Amino acid sequence: MSDRQPKLHELLLEQLAELNLTQIAADYRETLDEGARKNSSMLEVLSTLISSEITARRQRALQRRILLAKLPKMKTLAEYQFGFPKKIPKQKITRLFDCEFVEQHQSAVLIGPTGVGKTHLLTALGYIACERGLTVRFTRVIDMINRLTAAQMNGTLQQTLKVYTKPSLLLLDELGYLPIDKRGADLLFQIVTARYETGSIVITTNRPFRDWGRIFDLDNTLATAMIDRLMHHGEAIVIQGTSFRMKDSTPDE
C-alpha cells in the first residue's frame, strides 16, 4: 500500500493540474490530515477543499482586474479625510462606492481645485469596483489622448479605442490641467460618445463646466455636447477647499 501512495499522489497532482485545481493541489494533503485529526467526514473535507479553490480563484481574478485597470498605488475611501475640504458632498461620494451607477451606465464628474483629493477618491473607487467584479480602466486624460493620437497616426485607432470603451467603468483623471488641441478633443469626445448609455465614466477636473470650452481649444460646441452626454445620466460632485498637500506648510518669513 505504501508503495502505491507516491504513484497515487503523482497521478492526483497531474489530474488536479489538468483541471487547473491548483489550490486544491497545494492544500489537499494538509486538509486530509486536518480532517483525520478532527474526525471530519469526507463531505466536510471536500467542502473545505472546494472553498479554498474558490477563494483562490476569486483572488487571482481580482488581481487580474486590478492589473488590467492600470490603477495607481492603492487608496481607500476610509483613508480620505472628509473633514479637510471646506465643502464636500459626502453622501454623493459615498453613494458612488456602492457601484450601482455602473450597472445603470451613469457617470459622474468630480470638480474641485488641485489638492482636495479627487485622484484619491477616483483611485479608491477603482479598487472597490474591481473588488465588486467590474472591469475598470484608469488613466490620466492626457495620457489617453496621447495614446489615441499615436494610434490614429499609425492606423490602429479602432483597436485602441476598445481599451477605453470596453471596461464597465472608465476613470479619467486630471481633465483641464493641460490644454487639449482639436484632434485630442475630438478623440475624447469619441470616447464619451461611445460610452454614452452603454458604460460609466467618472472624471476628475479642476475646471467648472463653464470653462470647459477653454480646455478644448475654445470649442464651446464640443464642450457643451460632451457635458450634455455626461450629465444626462450623471451628476456633478463639487469639492471646495485648498490643497491638502499645503495644509502643513508654513509661509516663508
Residue 126 is predicted with a pLDDT of: 98
The candidate with the shortest Cα–Cα distance to 192, out of 232, 150, 151, 155, is 232
Kindly list the distances between the CA atom of residue 216 and the CA atoms of 100, 138, 173, 188, in Å, as whole numbers in the listed order: 31, 21, 16, 10
pLDDT digits (tens, 9 = 90+) for 133-186: 999 999 999 999 999 999 999 999 999 999 999 999 999 999 999 999 999 999
Backbone angles phi, psi at 171, to 5 degrees: -110, 115
pTM for the predicted model, two decimal places: 0.84
Grid cell, residue 68, equals 488590467
Kindly list the distances between the CA atom of residue 181 and the CA atoms of 16, 76, 240, in Å, as whole numbers in the listed order: 55, 34, 28
Residue 5 is predicted with a pLDDT of: 67
Instruction: Identify the segments of the chain with pLDDT beneath 70.
Output: 1-6, 9, 12, 24, 245-253
Helix, strand, coil fractions of the chain, as percent rounded to 5: 60, 10, 30
Residue 250 is predicted with a pLDDT of: 44
Residue 18 is predicted with a pLDDT of: 73
Residues forming CATH 3.40.50.300 domain(s) in the chain: 77-245
Extended strands (E) in the chain: 107-111, 136-140, 169-175, 200-205, 234-238
CATH number of 77-245: 3.40.50.300
Q: How far is it, in rounded angstroms, from Cα 220 to Cα 38?
A: 72
Residue 248 is predicted with a pLDDT of: 55
3 state DSSP class of 2: coil
Which long-range contacts does 146-151 make (Cβ < 8 Å, 24+ apart)? 148/184, 148/187, 148/191, 149/183, 149/184, 149/187
Kindly list the distances between the CA atom of residue 89 and the CA atoms of 20, 76, 110, 196, 238, in Å, as whole numbers in the listed order: 47, 17, 10, 25, 7
